[in-house]
Amino acid sequence: MENREIKNCTIENIDNIYEIDKTSSSYNWKKNMFIDELKNKNSFFKVLYINDIIVGYIIYHIIIDEAEILNIVIDNKYKRQAFGKYLLEQALKTLSEKNIKTIFLEVGEKNIPAINLYLQFGFKEYNKRINYYKNKETAILMKKIL
Ligand SMILES: CC(C)(COP(=O)(O)OP(=O)(O)OC[C@H]1O[C@@H](n2cnc3c(N)ncnc32)[C@H](O)[C@@H]1OP(=O)(O)O)[C@@H](O)C(=O)NCCC(=O)NCCS
């Protein structure tokens, strides 16, 4: 039977997380950026394990009654098995329990899988940032009111 667990990211996970990010996302973070998240007291850095294997992670910040989703990545080998949906759902549950009122995020306008995921959870576009990413891709700014 599948054993599914979400745990806090630790320094020992960072090499694994960095590899997943490098191979499975187009918006790669430097290793130091992940380490900084571990030190940031506003940061929630959650790792999804399936049968003790890391399949993905989500990072979000909470400041007072607002949150921002910084990243969610599922390893290519495990995409389209509803793990992204599960991680986001669990994060939204935590945010709701903490009485967060608004959740923000940015997503590349060509990133259809992520946009679809966020739309499915009721995020709505409220603005755009032209040429926002390194590759000049426009960012769509989305938010969800809880
Ligand atoms: C976005 C991402 C996390 C989704 O994870 P996933 O586990 O593969 O997605 P799920 O199987 O949970 O799918 C959830 C929903 O996302 C959308 N989706 C996921 N992959 C999709 C694809 N290839 N094409 C279109 N929609 C897709 C669908 O709406 C899907 O719902 P459905 O299965 O009912 O159609 C994953 O594609 C990923 O890691 N992308 C690269 C990293 C990234 O760009 N993250 C976003 C940063 S803002």
Give me the phi and psi of 133, to 5 degrees please. -90, 165
> Which is the closest atom of ligand 1 to the Cα of 108?
48
Q: Which two tokens stand for residue 117?
A: 């995921």
CA of 80 to the centre of ligand 1 (A): 6
The CATH architecture assigned to 4-145 reads 3-Layer(aba) Sandwich (3.40)
CB of 99 sitting under 6 A from ligand 1:
no
Cβ atoms within 10 Å, residue 76: 11
Catalytic positions: 106, 118
> Distance, CA 40 to ligand 1 centroid (Å)?
27
pLDDT tens-digit map of 18-35: 999 999 999 899 999 999
pTM here is 0.97
From atom 5 of ligand 1, which residue's Cα is the shortest distance away? 84
* 21 CB near ligand 1 (under 6 Å): no
> Is the model's pLDDT at 1 over the cut of 90?
no
pLDDT per residue over 91-102, tens digit each?
Answer: 999 999 999 999
Say how many Å lie between the CA of residue 32 and the centre of ligand 1: 26
For the chain, give every domain's residue range. 4-145
CA dihedral 144, 132, 23, 48 (to 10 degrees): -20
Q: Which atom of ligand 1 is nearest to the CA of 116?
A: 29
